[in-house]
Structure 1
């Protein structure tokens, strides 16, 4: 399996995001956490920020929507040029229709599961998605501690994905101490925030995470 490292700009310097993104050329994608202060108790970026980021970086964007009513809003992020648009199963009224709309707009479609959301009901629908995001913390804030009990869910999802071309992403507390465990459990796409942008050399941190995930 390929390994993808996605630094999350939730941990970047909000006054110099373009400059921080330029410091991670080894990243595979840039992870953009869109929060509306309704689905999660935090407020971050919206569509205008995504549109502007697309103008200042050649790295593809993976937009993680932690918002109410993603059925309405998700396709717009794909139309803007995001490479991946991931929305939460818990917030969608019709996740399959939303995924199809995202794909029709030219992006990969991802479905995200909170720690308390069982993976089982979604495993029969894997062909409708290009990515499954297993949250390893409660969504909303960066810098939280990894929840090791999510490793069993990662294994469950990986066992069902099998040889399908579906990315298995983990997000939350991913760093040097945890990335190998999630890789062993079956993850192939890793979101890392503070462990990258908290480093004096963010790109060296990206390369180190990749080494640990492929060791």
Structure 2
């Protein structure tokens, strides 16, 4: 699965930018509040408008404080998957239950420096594990290969039936990194500048999907 990140798109032309990647599995929407991360992007009103402009399932990644309060609004707005950060959530189990009750999937994200093992049991309540392969906040950063150890552990648990989550990765994914991420066991790849920085975003998306599929065998 490929999820183009609109963080790298032209914010003045979001409907057109979504249309440029119609074959995407998900459209990744980075919501930042300038508190949890040192950047400010977009919020619920833009997501509501984007939902009306595209049929691509929206994958909303909330890099915000107090997701316990705000996450439910994105599910109610029609997001397919809503991901919160374990570092910001006060009651991650309640968030997951509320998101699912509102009609979306629930995702849990961990920063590069956050260990994976303490949250394995918590992930029983979630649909998606989003492993950050850069420090959250800005696009265009360099991929951190050391986070793939978390992916490998998660993949083993999923394959053994101990977890039932989709493994997603976000940060620095491009033609030069997607194969190693795929080999580690990633299911869904968030790619921003590698797609929206390309002359032909649709062709770039197709090429990334082919590389990932070949690496996974």
Q: TM-score, normalised by structure 2?
A: 0.96
In structure 2, the partner of 1:153 is: 150
From 15, 24, 29, the counterpart of 1:27 = 24
Query: Following TM superposition, by how much is the alpha carbon of 1:121 offset from its aligned partner in structure 2, in angstroms?
Result: 1.1
User: CA contact under 8 A between 2:108 and 2:123: conserved in structure 1?
Assistant: no
**Distance in structure 1 (CA, Å) of the matches to 2:79 and 2:94:** 18
Does 26-35 or 161-170 show the bigger shift?
Answer: 161-170
Check the 8 A contact 1:123/1:160 in 2, yes or no: no
Query: Structure 1: which 5+ runs fail to align?
Result: none
Give RMSD over aligned pairs.
0.8
Which of 120, 124, 133 is 1:123 aligned to? 120
* CA–CA separation in structure 2 for the residues paired with 1:111 and 1:150: 15
The 2-side partners of 1:32 and 1:93 are apart by 22
Q: TM-score, normalised by structure 1?
A: 0.97
Which runs of structure 2 are paired with 1:72-151 in the superposition (5 Å)? 72-151=69-148
Is there any run of 5+ residues in structure 2 with no aligned partner, and where?
Answer: none
Describe the SS at the equivalent of 2:41. coil
- Alpha-carbon deviation of 1:151? 1.2
Count the aligned residue pairs.
Answer: 212
Q: CA deviation at 1:165?
A: 3.7
The answer (yes or no) to whether the contact 2:4–2:195 under 8 Å persists in 1 is yes
**1:182: which partner in 2?**
181
